[in-house]
Amino acid sequence: MASLTLNINNKSHTVDVDPQMPLLWVIRDIVGLKGTKFGCGMSLCGACTVHIDGVAMRSCTYPVALAAGNRKITTIEGISENIDHAVQKAWIELQVPQCGYCQSGQIMSAVALLKNNPKPTDADIDAAMMGNLCRCGTYNRIRKAIHRAAELMR
């Protein structure tokens, strides 16, 4: 066990946990932010995607100790106060979700993509989003919504 300080959504949390515990479970069960989801536990589905220093990472396999200290963790709860991030607006406009379970991860991947690439092509979207699975089949909406969010951010 170790006492670690985490900066999550610009708020400091001190947690006493096994340093090998995946960040996902610290975020969900210790800190109590439930928007980040568990899907596979092997970085295969992307449901657990968060940003660490602005980079999309799979929190289900990311040891918490590596995310501690000065690193900045952002979860779905941290991208906007009022559900008004351009990506969220585009997602609402295109009514993307079905069950919605994978969408936190989809949105976190999309936000990271658009930060680095304000005008992604379809191929860019494929490359950035193919690690995020959706069993309901919202992929075509996701693609459209990313293009739409890029417009909104311009």
Partner 1 sequence: MSAISTGNQSNAINRRNFIRLSGLTGAALILGVSSRSGEKELAAVGDVADSYKLTPYIIIEKSGKITLMNPKPDMGQGTFQSVPALIAEELEVPLDAVTILQTSGEKEFGRQVSGGSTSVRLNYFSLRKVGAAAREMLIAAAAAKWKVQAKDCYAANAKVYHKPSGKSIGYGDLVETASKLAVPQNPALKDAKDFTILGKNYPRPDVPLKVSGRAVFGIDVEVQGMLYASVAHSPVFDSKLVSYDDSDTMKVKGVQKVVQFQRMLGKNKYDAVAVVADHYWAAYQGRLALKLNWDHQGHDQFNSKDYEQSLRDMATKEGSVVHNDGDFDKAYKEAPVKLEAFYETNIVSHSPMEPMNCVARWNGPDSVEVWVSAQGPDLVKGELSRTLGLSRDNIKVNIQFNGGAFGRRLYPDFASEAAMIAKAVDKPVKVLWTREDDTQLGPFRPLTFSAMKAGLSADGKPVAFQHKVISPSMGATMDEKRNETGESSSMTEGISTQQYELPNMKNEYVFSEIHVPLAAWRSVTSSTVAFAHECFIDEMAVMAGKDPLQYRLDTLLTKDSDTKRLLTKLREVSKWDEPLPAGWGRGVAQYEFFAGLAGYVVLVSKKSNGGVKIEKVHCVIDLGTVVNPDMVALQVEGGATMALTAATKPGITFENGQTAQTNFHDNEIIRINEMPPVETHIIAEGGPTIKGVGEPPVPPFAPALANAIFAATGKRIRRMPFDLNKV
Q: Which residues bind partner 1 (CB under 8 A)?
A: 1, 18, 21-22, 25, 28-30, 32-42, 44-45, 47, 75-77, 80, 83, 88, 91-92, 95-104, 107, 125-126, 129-143
Question: Is 56 or 91 the residue whose CB approaches partner 1 more closely?
Answer: 91
Rounded-to-integer distance, Cα 76 and Cα 83, Å = 10
Q: Judge residue 11's burial from the number of C-beta atoms within 10 Å of its C-beta, 0-12 exposed, 13-18 middle, 19 or more buried.
A: exposed
Question: Is 55 or 130 the residue whose CB approaches partner 1 more closely?
Answer: 130
Question: Is 62 or 70 the residue whose CB approaches partner 1 more closely?
Answer: 62
Q: Quick one: which of 35, 103, 40, 41 has its CA closest to 73?
A: 35
Measured from the CB of residue 117, what is the shortest distance to partner 1 in angstroms? 16
Give CA torsion, residues 29, 64, 78, 28, to 10 deg.
-10
Measured from the CB of residue 132, what is the shortest distance to partner 1 in angstroms? 7
